[in-house]
Structure 1
Amino acid sequence: MSYFNRRGIFLQKLGPTIVDPREVLVSMQFALKETDHDEHGAPTDKLLDSSEFIASSYDGGQTFKLNNARDVDGDGDIDHADKEKLLALAKAYASIVNP
């Protein structure tokens, strides 16, 4: 997140595991950053309105499943389009070799 843009997405790729070498999990956290000052006047950052989603794949990252979704396209409802956007983000991030 930058000084000018308070919204951010944090992505983390987990897996494969010893138990299932084809398992890939992508953790996606959406948050707003707020800068405040502590009692000594030092700037501090905190994350607000944080939402976390876990996309799971058991075929090496070719296809993903997502248990929950939220309105990410801003049209006011949670529908198939929202879920597809989150799944596309997970698949794209999982395909990056050295993020």
Structure 2
Amino acid sequence: MSMFNRRGIFLQKLGPSAVNPNEVLVSMQFALKEETWDAKNFATTTALLDTTTLIASSSDGGQSFKIRNFNKDVDGDGDIDAEDMMKLLALAKAYLSISTP
């Protein structure tokens, strides 16, 4: 996020685990950034608002993903549907394909 754009997505790759070497998790945190001026300390403070974290899990090394507890309208069309899920799954798979973020 920058000072020009308050929206952000933080992505993190987790896995594989000792139990399943093909397991991959991608954590996706959606947030809004708010900066305020702290007059007492003469400093800018930053807070993350409206954060939502979703975990995309794969047991086949990232070939396919599943997301549980899905309840986020990510495309802004007013409903939570298969299109939102497809975009999140594509984001997880695209992030996994980046070798040096």
Under TM normalisation by the shorter chain, which class is it?
Answer: over 0.9
Q: 1:98: Cα distance to partner?
A: 1.8
CA-based RMSD: 0.8
What is the letter of the counterpart of residue 15 of structure 1?
Answer: G
CA–CA distance in 1 between the matches of 2:43 and 2:4?
19
With the length of structure 2 as denominator, give the TM-score of the two structures: 0.94
Q: Share of identical aligned residues, percent?
A: 68
Residue 69 of structure 1: aligned partner: 71
Q: Any idea what SS the aligned residue of 2:85 has?
A: helix
CA–CA distance in 2 between the matches of 1:61 and 1:15?
11
Contact 1:30–1:50 (Cα < 8 Å) also in 2: yes
Q: 1:37: Cα distance to partner?
A: 2.0
What is the letter of the counterpart of residue 94 of structure 1?
Answer: L
Contact 1:69–1:82 (Cα < 8 Å) also in 2: no
Q: How does 1:1-99 map to 2 (within 5 A)?
A: 1-38=1-38, 39-67=40-68, 68-99=70-101
Q: Number of residue pairs matched?
A: 99
Q: 1:42: Cα distance to partner?
A: 0.5
Moved over 2 A (4+): none
List runs of 5+ in structure 1 lacking aligned partners: none
List runs of 5+ in structure 2 lacking aligned partners: none
With the length of structure 1 as denominator, give the TM-score of the two structures: 0.96
Contact 1:25–1:57 (Cα < 8 Å) also in 2: yes
CA–CA distance in 2 between the matches of 1:20 and 1:69?
27
